[in-house]
Amino acid sequence: MNNRRQLLQLGISGLAVSGMRALAPQSLSAITSDVRPAFGKANNVIVMFTWGGMSHIDTFDMKPEAGSEIRGSFSRISTSIPGTMVCEHLPKMSQMLDELTVVRSVHHSAGDHRKAAYWNITGHPPSEIGGGVSAPILPSRKDWPSIGAQVAIAMKNDRRFSNKQSLTRVTPEDLTKSEVDNPIQWQKLTKFATVSLSTDILTPGHYQTGKFDNQDGYTNESTIELIGMISTASSANCPVTRSTDGPTVNFSEQVAGDGTAGDWGCDTHGRGGNLWLIGDGLPNQPRAGFGCHANKFITFNVAEIRKKHFQGSTREFVLSTRFGVCGNPGVQQVAAGTGGIWIDGKLACLSNLLNRDDASELLEAPVHKDAKYITMALLNGDDSTFFDDLVFAEPILTEVAGELPPLPTPDAEVELEEQPVDESLAGNLPRCISIPYPLADRGLLNGQYGGFLGLEYDPVFVHPGEGVKFKGKSPLAGTIDLAPQGISRRRIATRSLLLNDLNNHLEWEPRESGPALTEASQELAFNMMLSPEVQGAFELGREPKSVRNLYGDHVAGKSAMLARRLTDAGVPLVFVNAGVGDLNGSQGDNWDTHGNNFNRLKDDLLPPWDHAAHALMTDLIESGRIEDTLVVFLTEFGRTPRINNGAGRDHFPSCYTVAFAGAGVQQGRAYGKSDATASEPADLPCTPEDLHATIYHALGIPAGYQIHDQEDRPLIMCEGTPLDIFS
């Protein structure tokens, strides 16, 4: 079943449905408690979620006959079902419509993102439903578990998970010299002259950075090439000199927002005060270095520095500095950031993400004799986007003779040997996985974790490590990045980064009261990244090139491909978010389109969703896995039928659309319908509980299945009724 035939180059587009033909209803298979196939055909589930609320009336459930204040500006296109039309900006999935059952009659009564998402992700209403947007209830062990956690516990005795293998491990002793951390060995170098990049080269003072990305910041037209500001808009390809043919740097992984203020300060902070490394416990007194709010950089001209400060020497250099958070003046508790050094646009060294009270890190970068530019950047890299007071302390350039290590190079993009995966790995993989990061709106979303089932059923959050990013903010804490920037995956064997990431993931409750990292969790962490057999399940490069091309270069497609690969390996449910992770006041590529709804949909949201959904469906169909994989296209609610004054649509739980495919789901089916303005269900209304019941039915989980909370009280896992959508 996993042997791939040549993929058909289908075009496919969104799931907007008007007048879709309805197949004759067919009764569900009889439910029994001892024969699993009688319940349904699904072995695995992929949930593709649109966080923020996808507009049903602009995609799945268009109303061309309604007034202009309702129908919007989008036109319709034909689909693979004659006579059925969908949104023009879903050209690919339009040709896949005959594979789906589209449900246009879902409704509930929670108008707040957090409450609505909790209801859709757990299948249970939140403790408080009404009242619109209210103060967030953050995750706790009193929450109902996520759908992935519920599936995991219901299937805990599945044969796949009893086959835990004895795995080989990559250890530091297995690595070659080039694959381990290789700090500069000072004892092997002859040191000559030194200069301070702050006191000697730039000299103390405040230096304006100009406007974002305009290359109009400070320069002394010799040693200082440019002091500039970085925005999210151009952070992936940021010019770091005034020269039109100068290098560019990809800062995108460390820039989470444009919030910044103040100058670049030399031997002082950019908004006054000393460069005080608060995490080192040092006194608040003057110190050489650079300080500023985050998202600023400085680029030095190495040739001019040689000429003016080293008598034209052609020897090599070592640049060393300490990076940390500045304690003065009035640094915010949420301050956090990253410091890095780039040589001619190539990453030389990068700190970890440091929080306000973390100890500083020493950064050392080799500057080889042919280097032209040194760029040092202070970057926010986290949810904190304004008061990120960051410091490079004592930046010293030392002239040396001796063998310097080469600049680190990213993992080469080599063609890996194809490696299909199967369910033999299931016993060594997490029971549930979410891709590519946690969801957040004024804090991490409750309902996406293990809730009262406990630590064992918290999903593991995995980023595919590649792909064009969604614009906007996404939570970083707790996400295991499969390709952290500047760090070879095999080098993780010599570091604690993965374990730290897993600790952050598991301690989403306040750190002082968060659960301890268990021995089983440590085993899971090391299995994921240090066991070649398990690691292969996460390596997208093991897929045939034709499949990789099908999914494309966007993180939405990469995430869908990883989800399909992990279900192949036996993970029963993978949850994929097809948008940025933090709603951030409707900023970024999330589906909360209160303003500029139509441009955001057609330019930023629908194209990657359309491509990823089409690729996933095509891959499953062509591989044959569609027979036992249930695909669910889900969101927390729809958008208001009436367009608001900001050309947007607001929260609307009274009627929205979802879709199902695969694992015996009827093809080309329209289940239910809305009224003339998509304002409420007109036929076959259903709720999030019913959607969950449908998923559990497909997996063979019996109705009335019970789970136990932390007080060991038995609770019915799902009280909904499966939709009549199975053949």
Partners of 674 in beta bridges: 681
Partners of 299 in beta bridges: 226, 375
213 burial level (CB within 10 Å; 0-12, 13-18, 19+): middle
Higher pLDDT, 545 or 407: 545
Higher pLDDT, 443 or 518: 443
CB 674 within 8 A of CB 655: yes
**What is the widest separation between alpha-carbon atoms in the chain?**
87
Chain-centroid distance of CA 260 in Å reads 23
Confidence of residue 46 (pLDDT cuts 50, 70, 90): very high
Residue 527 has pLDDT above 80, yes or no: no
pTM: 0.73
Q: How many CB atoms lie within 10 A of CB 263?
A: 22
Confidence (pLDDT) at 383: 57
Tell me if residue 255 falls in helix, strand or coil.
coil
Confidence of residue 505 (pLDDT cuts 50, 70, 90): very low
- The encoded tokens of residue 239 equal 């010019």
Higher pLDDT, 206 or 187: 206
Asked which of 85-89, 109-113, 475-479 is least confident by mean pLDDT, the reply is 475-479
Residue 31 has pLDDT above 60, yes or no: no
Residue 103 has pLDDT above 60, yes or no: yes
36-168+414-716 folds as Alkaline Phosphatase, subunit A (3.40.720)
Confidence (pLDDT) at 658: 98
Helices 688-699 & 113-122 angle (0-180, nearest 10): 30
SS (H, E, C) 54-83: CCHHHCCCCCCCCCHHHHCCCCEEECCCCC
Q: Classify 528 in phi/psi space as left (phi over 0), alpha (psi -120 to 50) or beta.
A: alpha
DSSP 8-state code for residue 605: I
Asked which of 106-110, 225-229, 357-361, 676-680 is least confident by mean pLDDT, the reply is 357-361
Asked which of 22-36, 446-460, 558-572, 620-634 is least confident by mean pLDDT, the reply is 22-36
* Pairwise CA distance, residues 688 & 690, whole Å: 5
Confidence (pLDDT) at 466: 82
* Pairwise CA distance, residues 413 & 27, whole Å: 50
Residue 436 has pLDDT above 90, yes or no: yes
Confidence of residue 525 (pLDDT cuts 50, 70, 90): low
* Cis status of the peptide bond prior to 329, with omega within 30 of 0: yes
pLDDT > 70 fraction of the chain, expressed in percent and rounded: 81
* Pairwise CA distance, residues 146 & 7, whole Å: 34
pLDDT, mean over the chain: 84
Amino acid letter for position 181: D
Residue ranges of the domains in the chain? Answer: 36-168+414-716, 183-401
Long-range CB contacts for residues 706-714, cutoff 8 Å, separation at least 24: 707/145, 707/150, 707/153, 707/154, 707/453, 709/452, 710/141, 710/142, 710/452, 710/454
Mean per-residue pLDDT, 329-349: 86
Residue 26 has pLDDT above 60, yes or no: no
Confidence (pLDDT) at 175: 46
Confidence (pLDDT) at 329: 61
Confidence (pLDDT) at 472: 86
Confidence (pLDDT) at 523: 55
- The encoded tokens of residue 512 equal 């002082």
Helices 113-122 & 147-154 angle (0-180, nearest 10): 20
Mode of pairing for the β-strands spanning 76-78 and 289-293: unpaired
277-321 tens-digit pLDDT: 888 887 888 889 999 888 999 999 999 999 999 999 999 999 999
Higher pLDDT, 173 or 137: 137
Q: How many CB atoms lie within 10 A of CB 532?
A: 13
Confidence (pLDDT) at 567: 96
636-675 tens-digit pLDDT: 999 999 999 999 999 999 999 999 999 999 999 999 999 9
Confidence (pLDDT) at 256: 75
Higher pLDDT, 185 or 680: 680
Alpha-carbon torsion (383, 385, 389, 394), positive or negative: positive
Q: What are phi and psi of 592, to 5 degrees?
A: -90, 75
Alpha-carbon torsion (227, 230, 233, 235), positive or negative: positive
Q: What are phi and psi of 120, to 5 degrees?
A: -75, -30
Tell me if residue 362 falls in helix, strand or coil.
strand
Q: Which residues contact 503 (CB under 8 A, 6 or more apart)?
A: 517
- Does the domain at residues 183-401 carry the CATH identifier 2.60.120.1060? yes
CA distances to 390, 684, 686, 725 from 690, in Å: 50, 11, 6, 12
CB 14 within 8 A of CB 606: yes
434 burial level (CB within 10 Å; 0-12, 13-18, 19+): buried
Residue 17 has pLDDT above 50, yes or no: no
Confidence (pLDDT) at 8: 22
| Among 358, 424, 562, CA closest to 480 | 562
Confidence of residue 628 (pLDDT cuts 50, 70, 90): very high
Confidence (pLDDT) at 169: 60
Asked which of 195-199, 384-388, 583-587, 618-622 is least confident by mean pLDDT, the reply is 384-388
Confidence (pLDDT) at 502: 46
CB 111 within 8 A of CB 653: yes
Residue 413 has pLDDT above 80, yes or no: no
CB 144 within 8 A of CB 451: yes
CB 327 within 8 A of CB 278: yes
Higher pLDDT, 410 or 202: 202
| Among 698, 639, 589, CA closest to 72 | 639
Q: How many CB atoms lie within 10 A of CB 677?
A: 17
H or E stretch covering 694: helix 688-699
CA distances to 416, 535, 612 from 545, in Å: 10, 19, 16
DSSP 8-state code for residue 611: H
Mean per-residue pLDDT, 106-124: 97
Q: What are phi and psi of 339, to 5 degrees?
A: -120, 145
pLDDT > 90 fraction of the chain, expressed in percent and rounded: 58
- Identical fold for domains 36-168+414-716 and 183-401, yes or no, is no
**CB crowding 391-419: b at 16 or more within 10 Å, else e:** bbbbbbbbbbeeebbebbeeeeeeeeeee
* Pairwise CA distance, residues 549 & 553, whole Å: 8
H or E stretch covering 361: strand 361-367
* Cis status of the peptide bond prior to 183, with omega within 30 of 0: no
Mean per-residue pLDDT, 607-627: 97
Mean per-residue pLDDT, 165-170: 62
Confidence of residue 430 (pLDDT cuts 50, 70, 90): confident
* Pairwise CA distance, residues 213 & 144, whole Å: 46
Confidence (pLDDT) at 526: 55
Asked which of 161-175, 505-519, 690-704 is least confident by mean pLDDT, the reply is 505-519
| Among 171, 136, 296, CA closest to 231 | 296
